[in-house]
């Protein structure tokens, strides 16, 4: 089973890292890929250059063979559409591979605004992660998708290449890249929020000191 975990990772922090390690422990992922986004269609501009975000991700994943950084969106021009990434990975991994897009409930609440969202579940499964303060929609497009495709049987995910939405009990840790950037911009140290080598890299390259957003 191959997991896809997308985001800006601006910067990568313990919330990202502890989450994927918990998923590796509790589910049969052969690999989870961090997919840094080049140009997110739904977010404000990214604060630091792709080369820095990529380097920081490589720093925190290189020691674990089950974690990989996939930089295809950074190499692709234009907006980073997840459906294009998933199509490419599906072609590379084969029709039988169990492919899982890892999403927080907060991201899923806007899923129907994604580019060609209706094609995604024909390519992969979605594993939803709980997040404090967020609940699944009770009406609308996302509600109908969840009602149609959800399963509470993890074996249904393991035994098919895609087509299900599985709500995990794993919960995203409340650490915010935005809060880290604001902390650094104010001249403070984001202690305990990100790995020491990442913090050393940020200081060495003088990143985020102007990034208050």
pLDDT tens string 150-180: 999 999 999 999 999 999 988 888 888 999 9
Number of residues assigned to the chain: 213
Q: Of 34-38, 75-79, 115-119, 195-199, where does mean pLDDT reach its minimum? A: 75-79
Query: Which regions of 115-158 does DSSP assign to beta strands (E)?
Result: 125-130, 150-151
Reported for 190-193, long-range contacts at CB under 8 A and 24+ positions apart, including other chains, are 190/13, 192/14, 193/13, 193/14, 193/15
Among candidates 136, 138, 168, which has minimal Cα distance to 151? 168
Give the per-residue pLDDT at 43.
63
The yes-or-no verdict on residue 42 having pLDDT over 80 is no
The model's confidence at residue 211, banded by pLDDT at 50, 70 and 90, is low
Mean pLDDT of the chain: 93
Task: Tell me the average pLDDT across 65-70.
Answer: 98
CB atoms within 10 A of CB 209: 13
Give the per-residue pLDDT at 3.
98
d(CA 73, CA 81): 8
d(CA 135, CA 191): 30
Give the per-residue pLDDT at 47.
83
Give SS3 for 68: strand
The yes-or-no verdict on residue 188 having pLDDT over 80 is yes
Structure tokens at 86: 């998933």
Query: For a pLDDT cut of 70, what percent of the chain falls above it?
Result: 97
Contact status, residue 58 vs residue 66, Cβ threshold 8 Å: no
Q: Which single residue is written with the structure tokens 């509790």? A: 26
Give the per-residue pLDDT at 40.
78
Structure tokens at 51: 């080369």
Give the per-residue pLDDT at 132.
83
Task: Tell me the average pLDDT across 84-112.
Answer: 97
Q: What is the pTM of this model?
A: 0.94
Q: Is the omega angle on the peptide bond into residue 126 within 30 degrees of 0, that is, cis?
A: no
Give SS3 for 85: helix
Give the per-residue pLDDT at 44.
64
The yes-or-no verdict on residue 23 having pLDDT over 90 is yes
């Amino acid at each position: 089973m191959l997991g896809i975990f997308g985001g800006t990772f601006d910067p990568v922090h313990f919330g990202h890292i502890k989450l994927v390690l918990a998923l590796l422990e509790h589910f049969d992922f052969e690999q989870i890929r961090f997919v840094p986004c080049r140009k997110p269609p739904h977010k404000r501009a990214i604060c630091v250059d792709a080369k820095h975000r990529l380097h920081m991700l490589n720093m925190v994943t290189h020691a674990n063979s089950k974690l990989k950084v996939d930089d295809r969106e950074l190499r692709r021009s234009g907006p980073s559409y997840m459906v294009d990434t998933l199509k490419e990975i599906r072609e590379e991994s084969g029709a039988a591979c169990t492919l899982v897009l890892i999403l927080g409930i907060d991201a899923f609440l806007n899923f129907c605004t994604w580019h060609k969202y209706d094609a995604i579940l024909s390519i992969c499964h979605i594993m939803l992660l709980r997040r404090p303060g967020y609940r699944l929609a009770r009406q609308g497009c996302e509600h109908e998708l969840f009602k149609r495709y959800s399963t509470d049987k993890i074996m249904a995910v393991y035994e098919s290449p895609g087509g299900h939405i599985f709500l995990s009990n794993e919960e995203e840790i409340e650490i915010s890249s935005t809060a880290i950037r604001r902390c650094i911009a104010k001249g403070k140290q984001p202690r305990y929020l990100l790995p020491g080598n990442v913090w050393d890299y940020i200081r060495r390259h003088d990143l985020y000191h102007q990034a208050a957003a």
